[in-house]
Amino acid sequence: MTLHISSRLMATAALGALMLAAVPATAKEKAAAAPAAETTAKPEIGDFGFDLNGMDKTVQPGDDFYAYANGTWAKNAQIPADKSNYGMFTALADLSQKRTREILDVAKGDPSSMIGRAYSSYLDTAAVEAKGLAPIQPWLTKVRAVDKAGLAKLLSEADRSGIQHFFGGYVGQDDKNPDVYIYTMFQGGIGMPDRDFYLKDGERNTKLQVAYLKHLENVLTLAGEKDAAPRAKAIYDFEKQIATVHWDKNDSSDATKVYNKMTIAELAKAAPGFDWQAFIRGIGVNEDSILVSQPSAFTGEAKLLADAPIGVIRDALIVRSLDGFSGVLPDAVAQEAFSFYGTALSGTPQMQERWKRAVDFTTNNMGEAVGQDYVAKYFPPETKAAMDVLVKNVLAALDTRIGNLTWMQPGTKVKAKKKLASFTTKIGYPDRWKDYSKLEIRGDDLFGNQLRANQFAHDDNVSRLGGPIRRWEWGMTPMEVNAYANFGMNEIVFPAAILQPPFFDPHADAAVNYGGIGAVIGHEISHHFDDQGAKYDETGKLADWWTPADVAAFEAAGKALIAQYDAYEVLPGEKLDGTFTLGENIGDLAGLTIAYDAYKKSLGGKEAPVIDGLTGDQRFFLGWAQVWRRNYREQNLSQRITTDPHSPSIQRTWVSRNLDPWYKAYQIKQGQKLYLEPKDRVRIW
* Cα 528 to Cα 488: distance, rounded to the nearest angstrom: 10
Whether 133-328 and 2-15+54-102+357-434+473-680 are alike in CATH topology: the answer is no
* Averaged pLDDT score across all residues of the chain: 93
pLDDT over 90 percentage in the chain? 93
The pLDDT of residue 219 = 98
* Cα 576 to Cα 570: distance, rounded to the nearest angstrom: 7
365 CB-side CA count, 13 A: 31
Please tell me the CATH code under which domain 2-15+54-102+357-434+473-680 is placed.
Answer: 3.40.390.10
Question: Residue 617's closest CA among 585, 587, 649, 592?
Answer: 592
Is the separation of the CB atoms in 168 and 279 below 8 Å? no
The pLDDT of residue 33 = 32
- Whether 2 has a pLDDT exceeding 80, the answer reads no
Q: Which CATH number fits domain 133-328: 1.10.260.40, 3.40.50.1220, 1.10.1380.10, 1.10.3720.10?
A: 1.10.1380.10
pLDDT over 70 percentage in the chain? 94
The pLDDT of residue 41 = 84
Q: Is 312 helix (H, G, I), strand (E, B) or coil?
A: helix
Is the separation of the CB atoms in 547 and 269 below 8 Å? no
The pLDDT-based confidence of 665 (bands split at 50, 70, 90) is very high
Higher pLDDT, 396 or 37: 396
Sign of the C-alpha dihedral computed for residues 284, 286, 287 and 292 taken in this order: positive
Q: Is 479 helix (H, G, I), strand (E, B) or coil?
A: coil
Q: Domain coordinates of the chain in residue numbers?
A: 2-15+54-102+357-434+473-680, 133-328
- Whether 563 has a pLDDT exceeding 80, the answer reads yes
The pLDDT-based confidence of 6 (bands split at 50, 70, 90) is very low
Provide CB contacts within 8 A for 134, sequence distance 6+.
none
- Whether 268 has a pLDDT exceeding 90, the answer reads yes
- What is the average pLDDT across 449-462? 98
- First vs last Cα of the chain: how many Å apart? 22
Structure confidence by residue, pLDDT tens digits, 383-417: 999 999 999 999 999 999 999 999 999 999 999 99
Q: From residue 455, how far is each of 159, 163, 184, 187, 365 by CA, in Å?
A: 9, 10, 18, 21, 11
The pLDDT of residue 322 = 98
Sign of the C-alpha dihedral computed for residues 666, 670, 674 and 677 taken in this order: positive
The pLDDT of residue 15 = 34
Structure confidence by residue, pLDDT tens digits, 103-119: 999 999 999 999 999 99
* Cα 97 to Cα 359: distance, rounded to the nearest angstrom: 7
Structure confidence by residue, pLDDT tens digits, 489-546: 999 999 999 999 999 999 999 999 999 999 999 999 999 999 899 999 999 999 999 9
Structure confidence by residue, pLDDT tens digits, 200-249: 989 999 999 999 999 999 999 999 999 999 999 999 999 999 999 999 99
Is the separation of the CB atoms in 342 and 351 below 8 Å? yes
The pLDDT-based confidence of 40 (bands split at 50, 70, 90) is low
Structure confidence by residue, pLDDT tens digits, 290-349: 999 999 999 999 999 999 999 999 999 999 999 999 999 999 999 999 999 999 999 999
